[in-house]
Amino acid sequence: QIATNYELSAGVERYEYLKMLKGEDPWEDLQPIVLTEAGTIKKPIIVRGIDPERYVGCTGFPADSHEAVWLTVRPHGGVDRCPHCGNVFKVF
């Protein structure tokens, strides 16, 4: 018996395969986030992730208000704040 693509795939390849089966773009989560407002503690900027942590580049609000600051956002139940502009991020 020949193994299926699902049986042969693992890790990122399986994630990509499962997303494509659903008709979804597997790399949609890697697109830049268009901010319509600054992130606050009550209403943080939600970033999606499949790993235990997500790297987020903040350029401020409005966009490009400061140089990119790279933050490591972890799903620890709390939020992470940009040290330059105060934007608040939460991984989902």
Q: Using CA atoms, how far apart are residues 68 and 3, in angstroms rounded to an integer?
A: 45
Q: For residue 68, what are the contacts with CB-CB under 8 A and spacing of at least 6?
A: 57, 58, 59
Residue set of the binding site? 58, 66, 82, 85
3-state SS assignment for residue 69: strand
Residue set of the binding site for Zn(2+)? 58, 66, 82, 85
